[in-house]
Structure 1
C-alpha cells in the first residue's frame, strides 16, 4: 500500500488531529457534501492562473483581461451552483473580487520580473528516508510514502532561476515577514518540486498577497468595461520591464544574480510582493522535517485528539461531528448525512495546469513535454 500525504493533510495534522482524522487521505478521507461559503481565495487563484498562463504571457492585455474576468466569473459561478443561497450575496462576492483584481492588474506590470512556466500544477514527490537518502521512506506495511500538493505558479527570472509563487487573498493585516520566512508549506513545496523534477534547483519563494480594502467590502457594481481595463499590455515593458519575455528556458540551474539580498519586498495599495531566497540547506532541512512528521502520521498507534481554538474551529468543516465526539453522541449518522468519501486524487476537469499525476519525474521546462 502506498501512502500519499498532501500538504493539506500535513497542515491539518499540525493544526488539529481530530480534523486530520476526518479529512486526511490516509484516514477517513471525508469532505462536506456541500460547500457553504464562497471561497474568494480560490476564485482569485483561478483568475490569476489565466493571467499568468505561459501561452498567453506576451498577449495584449485587451485580449487577456477579458479571459481573466471570465475565469473569475466561472469560478464563482461554479461555487454558486454548489451553494445556492441569496443571489445578492453571490453578486457581492463577484463585485468584491473584480474590484480587487482591478487594483492588481494596474500594479502587477510594475513589479513582475519573471516569466511564468507552469500554473496550478500538482506535484507528487517520493519522500526519502532521512537515515538513508538513497531509499524511499516506508510506511508500517512497507509501502512507499509520497508527498503531494499544488503550486500556484512556477516562474523563472532573468537569471534563469526558478521560483515557487504563492497567491494569497488577505482579509486582515499582512502577516509579518518573519511568518513568511518560517512558512513550512512553501519551503516544503520547493523541496518537493526539486524531487519531482530531477535536477532542478529552486531559488526560493515569492508571496503575492492581495488584501481586500474597505471599498471592496461594500462594493459598487462595476460595468463590464471597468472590470476589464488594464494598465499596460502584457508584451510591453513598464518601469524597467514587464517581466522576462521568453516563457521557455533550457536551464534547470540559474546563474548568479546581481543582488544577494535574502528578502525583497514591495508594497502598495493593499498589495504586497515578497521574494525570499531559500538556500539548499534550508530546503534540505524542510524535507527532513517533513519526513519526521510523516513518520508520526503513519504510525499505527497514533493518538488522535482535538486542538480547539476560536481561530481554528470557526473555519473548520468538521465542527458538528467533533462536537458529537466531544459530547459522546452518535457521530456516524452525522458523517453519513453531511459528508462523503472523496477520491484520493481529485481530477478537476478543465483546470489550467491540472493533471492527475503532474508531468512526470525528469521533465524539464523548455525541453518539450
Structure 2
C-alpha cells in the first residue's frame, strides 16, 4: 500500500463499503485488475454515446483490457486483430516454448500425474493482465520495444519463471556481472571502465537538477446523484503542461502509489476583458487546469466520509454506531469542532466593523446589529418628533401671550 494511503488509514477503524450495497456481488477474475470497472465507468461521454448508437458485435470487445468476459474461458469473445497477432507471436517464440516445457515438467513433478499441458484460456487471461500492467508501467527505466514487452509478458504468463541464459537479451544482463575463468573471478568490461576513473586526478562532473515548481492537488471524486461512490479512483488537479507519464512517475516516486489507468480532461478558463479592454483569461476558480482521474489497485476513502459509514451501518444493522465512533475518534485526535469554533470567532473579529449587505448571512451577530440599528433609527425619529411638537407648543404659547398683551 502506498504511503499517501497508509498515512491516512493506518490508525483508523476498518473502512466501510460502497454507498449503494450490491445484493449479489459479481465475481471478477483474478487476472483482472480491481479498477477495471472504474475505467469503464470513466469513459468519455462521446465514446459512450458512440457505443450506444453503434453497439459492437457480440463477439468483439472494444475495451479488451477491462472486459471481464475475455478473462472467462466459457465466453466466445475474441481478441482484436492487433492483440491477437501479438499473442500469437509471443506463444510461437522460442523463449515461450522453452519456458513452457519447464512449466510442464514442474507441474508433472508436483502432481505426479504425468505431463500437464498449459490451458490456452488461462494464458490469454494472463496475457491480458500482463498487457495492462505493461501499459501502466513507469516509462524511463523499463525495457522498451517488442522484445522488452515480450520478456515482461513472459514473466507474468509463466509465473515469473527464469528464462534460459542463452535466451536472455543483452538489455537484461546486469552491469558488473562476475564471470569465472581459470579459477579466478574477473569483473566485466563496464566495471573495469568505471575503475579506470578512480584516481586522484579524476574530475567530478555535476548534473543539472530541476526542482519541481508545480502543484498537484488531490480533489474529491465527482459522484452523480443516485450513484455509488467509487473508491478505486482518485481525482487530481494538475497543470496543463503535465502529462500522464509525468503524473504516473510522480505518484510512484513520491508516494509509492501504482496506478492502473489515467484519464485526463482539459478545462479551459473563462475569457474576459481587463480595464484597458484587452481580452484575457480570468484567474481564480475559473482558471485553466487539467483534471486527472487515476485508477487505484486498492480502495481509498476519505477519513471524514461519514456517508459511507452510515450506509455500512444500515447494511450491517448497527445503525449509526460506526459513524459516531469515527466522529468521536476525529474529535479526540484532531479537535475538528474546536478548530471550527475558533475559526468562526476569528472571522467574526475580523469582520467586526464591516457591513453585511447580503440577507443570507443570518447569524446572531448580524441579527443583533440589525436590531440595534433599527432601534436607534426609531429612537432618533421619536426624538425629532418630540422636538417638533415642543416647538409647536412653544410657538402657540408665544402667540397667545402676544394677543393677551394687545387686548
TM-score normalised according to structure 2 size: 0.21
From the CA coordinates, give the structure whose radius of gyration is larger: 2
Of the two structures, which has the highest relative contact order with CA contacts closer than 8 Å and spacing of 6 or more?
A: 1
Q: Kindly indicate which of the two structures has a greater share of residues assigned to strand.
A: 1
